[in-house]
Structure 1
Amino acid sequence: MLSRRLFLKSTALIGCSAAAHPMLSSMTFADAPGENRLVVIILRGAMDGLDVFQPYGDPELRQLRKTLSAGPDKGAQDLDGFFALHPSLAPLMPLWRAGELAFAPAVSTPYRDKRSHFDGQDMLEAGTGTDVETRSQRDGWLNRLLQTMPGVQSETAYSVGLEDMRILDGAAPAKSWSPQTRFKLSAQGQRLLAHVWHDDPLFRPAGEQAIEIINDDLARIEPAEGPARDAQALARFTADRLNRETRIASFSISGWDSHARQGPVIDRALQRLGTAILTLRADLGANWSRTTVLAMTEFGRTVRENGTGGTDHGTGGAMLVAGGNIRGGRAIGGWPGLAEGDLYAGRDLMPLRDIRAHAAWAMRDLFDIPRDVLERSVFPGLDMGENPRILG
């Protein structure tokens, strides 16, 4: 059965919030001219960038985090003598050495202080930089990007799980697909259902989507076994579309909310993220050399671990960048430090750059979108600043 927006009402009591729940995910796709490809992965639940890209060279880290992993001597992979990669992402080290993996530390959206998963994700995907309670613009920044590109049409937008992705909300049409959905319906049954829902404004679009998927070989994609099976299915589906007409894709990976026992929580999430990236690289083949992957989260987590071996909602986080056409093997941007006077509100990593600027420059260099269009229409009010030269 295809999931509908109304089922969101039933998710309010799941975990910290439905927005952070590991079973919720979604994906979107769009056509675009040219050969470059962009994949945006939304990491729902607030990924702890300090644990994924560990600044073990900062002397304050070990005092702030006495039990969480903190450098190569605890199994992390040294990157540059200052940062180390979480052990669960060790399979990505060949990408780092090949210049196909990078990260931007100390980044965030303009969202501050309230630290709500729903609001933070809403602002990340809307890309407006304005307060979620007062803004009138409800579409997503990928949809606004499409509207600035002549001749571009949204091919398909798939929602997996129970929630929709605001990032492609707007004038472009949307469809749904789940890697765990199985459709078996005869041609006669398809015609009968089409007749039944013909005049129903709610179920007709969903039914037509289901019929299209039934007749598409992609519906037969089978996920692998293990904790990363869904992430692999999402990535395989995405790669298949990108190997066709699709040039812009987005999906989400949830399960990053680590208030307690962060070790196993982030380990599972990182396995899923790593599997998704490696699956994209393998299945895209030659097209990997024209692909940029941006993995973004709604906000970071506190610099101090709490009493239950976890971390709480914070501010500054990190963005992972991958792809065959990036300038990898480096940290993109500066480091604010972890001393008491360097922290935001005395508790969080201080963000040095708006994460939207990194996304904007990637789109500028991938699709030749004018800077003023990006700052005015795609990310209204954004000052992109200096080009971080994410692409090679």
Structure 2
Amino acid sequence: MALTLDRRRFLSTLGCSLAASPFVTPMAFADMPSDNRLVVVILRGAMDGLDALQPYGDPDLVRLRPGFDTGPAGGALDLTGFHALAPGLADLMPLWRAGQLGFAQAVSTPYRGRRSHFDGQDILEAGTAGEVPPLSGRDGWLNRLLAGLPQATGRTAFAIGRDDMLLLRGEAPASSWAPDAALDLTQATRDLLLHVYHDDPLFRETAEEALLLSADGPDKRKEGQDKVEALFTFAAKQLSGSARIAALSIPGWDSHRNQANQLRRPYGRLAAGILRLQADLGPVWDRTTVLAMTEFGRTAAENGTRGTDHGTGGTLVVAGGAVRGGQVWGQWPGLAEADLLDRRDLMPTGDVRSYAAWAMRGLFGLDAAFLTSTVFPSVEMGPDPGLLA
């Protein structure tokens, strides 16, 4: 009886011995014919956009957050005379000065009301109009992007880790990989594996790719490198080759208490990851755009434990050599009580999906009608915010 085994199942079988930890963070990549690169970073846990990009020029910020150190007087770095950069992101200041870092303020997805991390992240990655997508048939907006590019070729689809990213889930071929998972095989075993599948084009290609990517895994990390930074190292290596899109995530942004300490590590990881891309991509950095987005913002006022709770409006971080940075995009709604959403949250004045749509239009020359009908159904792109140089 002939044995039929598809590529995903083949590598899933291999993955049983690879992903010993259930907390492996997956990454996803896709090949594209364009020379431009897009990196999407999901900041899981709801980053406090009013802390990352501090609107210290609004007098109500101090009223709402009397226990927080805010603005230049509190150690933040002045950006515009109205906005300041959180001290934890200070390493990114050279990018701001070089015009390779910017922020979109008061943005959100269409998700409202319940403020659930799980629902918020699903809606962010699905790119839908506010309702949680059904479990069956849900796909991600990056995958729909690939499906609309006839010349795009995806790597063989595979995922290693606890789960894959909804961003790239769908019918278009793409691949997932966790650099924490390594094929712990001797050289002789590797040679035997390739020999066994040498005459089978399906398995030979899959085995060769698995072994190649495994070689770029943890054994090749720089000594002392943080686990999340290692993801960016791996992403840069793929983007320096045939990959054109990378999607990954940074956890740890849920800051209900002692926010200053809670955010120190994720800020450091985000800054180090972006700078790792800049260093490792070399000249490719000039054609790269990084979008770091989160499922929703946090409350405008601090809570009783020096933290913030789940909110709505937040901040989009935009970086890269292809970016027209050194500026803050979007309309500022104000922090007066009457200006807040439900008298508690920063009022969204922009849709984070529209900024992503304009970035993809500029990077890959996509038609606006395709972006608003397929990639982000029903989104209103509005005027070009001018993200890209």
Q: How many Å separate the matches in 2 of 1:362 and 1:170?
A: 21
Q: 1:158 to 1:283 in 2, by over 3 A?
A: farther
Q: 1:373 to 1:176 in 2, by over 3 A?
A: closer
2:279 is aligned with 1:266: no
Q: 1:250 to 1:80 in 2, by over 3 A?
A: same
Q: 1:231 to 1:171 in 2, by over 3 A?
A: same
Q: 1:157 to 1:102 in 2, by over 3 A?
A: farther
On the 8 A contact 2:105/2:332 being kept in 1, the answer is yes
Q: 1:272 to 1:83 in 2, by over 3 A?
A: same
2:353 is aligned with 1:353: no
Secondary structure of the structure 2 residue equivalent to 1:88:
helix
Alignment of 1:210-249 (within 5 A): 212-216=209-213, 217-219=215-217, 220-225=219-224, 229-249=226-246
Query: What's the TM-score once normalised by structure 2's chain length?
Result: 0.87
Could you tell me which of 334, 338, 342 is aligned with 1:341?
A: 338
On the 8 A contact 1:27/1:165 being kept in 2, the answer is yes
Q: 1:370 to 1:388 in 2, by over 3 A?
A: same
Alignment of 1:28-177 (within 5 A): 28-132=28-132, 138-155=138-155, 161-173=161-173, 175-177=175-177
On the 8 A contact 2:140/2:167 being kept in 1, the answer is yes
1:315 to partner: Cα distance: 0.4
1:33 to partner: Cα distance: 1.3
Q: 1:161 to 1:61 in 2, by over 3 A?
A: farther
2:2 is aligned with 1:2: no
2:360 match = 363
Q: How many Å separate the matches in 2 of 1:3 and 1:54?
A: 45
Q: 1:222 to 1:245 in 2, by over 3 A?
A: same
Q: 1:70 to 1:270 in 2, by over 3 A?
A: same
CA RMSD of aligned residues (A): 2.8
Could you tell me which of 269, 272, 286 is aligned with 1:275?
A: 272
Could you tell me which of 293, 298, 306 is aligned with 2:295?
A: 298
2:311 match = 314
1:14 match = none
CA deviations 1:218-260 (Å, max 9, x no partner) are 133215426xx11221111111111111111111111101111
Which residue identity does 2:55 align to in structure 1? P
- What runs of 5+ residues in structure 2 fail to find an aligned partner? 1-13, 197-201
1:164 to partner: Cα distance: 1.7
Q: How many Å separate the matches in 1 of 2:16 and 2:349?
A: 39
Which residue identity does 1:354 align to in structure 2? D
Q: How many Å separate the matches in 1 of 2:156 and 2:58?
A: 45
Q: How many Å separate the matches in 1 of 2:16 and 2:318?
A: 31
2:9 match = none
On the 8 A contact 1:2/1:177 being kept in 2, the answer is no
Q: How many Å separate the matches in 2 of 1:210 and 1:256?
A: 37
Q: How many Å separate the matches in 1 of 2:16 and 2:379?
A: 34
- What runs of 5+ residues in structure 1 fail to find an aligned partner? 11-22, 197-203
CA deviations 1:7-39 (Å, max 9, x no partner) are 99x8xxxxxxxxxxxx66331111111211111
1:379 match = 376
Off by >6 Å, runs of 4+ in structure 1: 191-196, 208-211
Q: How many Å separate the matches in 2 of 1:277 and 1:385?
A: 28
